[in-house]
Amino acid sequence: MLVGVSGGIAAYKACELVRRLRQRGAHVVVVMTPAATEFVTPLTFQTLSGNPVVTSLWGDQAPRFELPDRVRARMGGKVGHVDLAEAVDALVIAPATANLIARLVHGEAPDALTAIALACRVPLIVCPAMDVEMWRHPATVENLAVLRRRGVILVGPADGPLASGLVGPGRLAEIDVIADAVERSLAYRGSMTGVRVLVGAGRTEEPIDPVRVLTNRSSGRMGMALAEAARDRGAEVTLVTGPTDVGPPGGVRVIAVRTAIEMAAAMAAEARGADAVVMAAAVADYRAAKPAREKLKRADATRTLELEPNPDILAAIGAARRPGQVLVGFALETSDGVRRARTKLRAKGVDVIVLNDPADALGGDTNKVTLVEARSAKRLPEMSKREVADLVFARILELRSLKPGTRTARGGAGRTRAAKGQRT
């Protein structure tokens, strides 16, 4: 396990993170930027981690690391930062300053930490900490969006008093929150390797004329979080998506559609080879029966629009499902939600319905859902859409283990925690 420390006032909190990770059984190596050494001495981190601290690209410190044999075997004796990047299971950067985040986005590598981050092909957990106005600056907002699309796990920041005396977002997340995120990333990694996942996301747009469409307010964030979560577990992900307010994550196969008819065709074709299908797209129930070829002009008289039903995509997939296939649908209800969700579950032939409320689900980064199954309904507290996605796939793995004839994920789908002393 690599802990990266950049030059912010919250660098002192990384001392406790190192201690906490070691308590959980991790072998820790600390990498510091030159600015970070102005806040905490390398000797402090060396004492806490039990390993030399990497502060420079020059020289090879790897032979002096106290690491398990299985980890040392992955180190080819090339140069220090390359060896470390190839050997570790995860890299967590706490704190990550606005400057460090910008360097990660642009691929700059002037120091050991950014060079290792470029070379790593393991989960990268970035924990921002900065002043509130730096956090809100458009450059930082855009940089964080880029990191999310690349699959970086972002933890925090928290709200509260800052070193400047201001109060607001920018505090380093609580240490246990960071440690939990690190442990989850290690547990999830590889749990769905070789499993083929199909995710339906976004909204559909049904043309009324060449300018106007029938659509809804779905942002697509939930579907993107699902695709991202499956990818981070090692699954082979295909994302069929209509229009969204956010871009798709990297590392997934994307099929862009616009109308319900287009989405139905793409989902049906891809579902044949999928081990799990998660349909989070907000599909229009109706389309214009006869879309106008030219823009409709305003008239004083009342205009009537004739509609016809769109295909039920999830029901069609449920009717054609293969043995061992897990199907998950989403439902948004304004009243009597659990009963209606369970009716949909039976009608569509799926395993789980994720029940949303429009007040919680539309547009934001958080959600409050109920996982509805034939004999249970588990209501979850409000959490980020990524956390909801992780819990959905945790349940999919459980259901796959109960189905006969299911292909087992390479790497062991049953792993849920990092073994003591086995992570670096």
Catalytic residues: 216
Angle at 319 (CA atoms; ends 191, 343), nearest 5 degrees: 90
**What are the counts of helices (DSSP H) followed by strands (DSSP E) for the chain?**
15, 21
Whole-Å CA distances, 50 to 2, 31, 47, 77, 232? 13, 13, 5, 21, 30
Q: Sign of the C-alpha dihedral, residues 223, 227, 230, 232?
A: negative
**Cβ atoms within 10 Å of 400's Cβ, excluding its own:** 21
Whole-Å CA distances, 176 to 4, 106, 181? 17, 30, 8
Look up residue 230 and give its two tokens. 């499956």
Look up residue 54 and give its two tokens. 């990497």
Q: In the Cβ-directed half-sphere of 258, how many Cα atoms lie within 13 Å?
A: 5
User: Measured between alpha carbons, how far is 32 from 45 in angstroms, rounded to an integer?
Assistant: 9
DSSP state string for 131-145: -HHHHHSHHHHHHHH
Look up residue 164 and give its two tokens. 């400047």
Whole-Å CA distances, 20 to 49, 208, 291? 10, 58, 61
Residue type, 417: R
**What stretch of H or E contains 161?**
strand 158-161
Query: 49-82: string of b/e by CB count within 10 Å (b at 16+)?
Result: bebbbbbebeeebbeebebeeebbeebeeebbbb
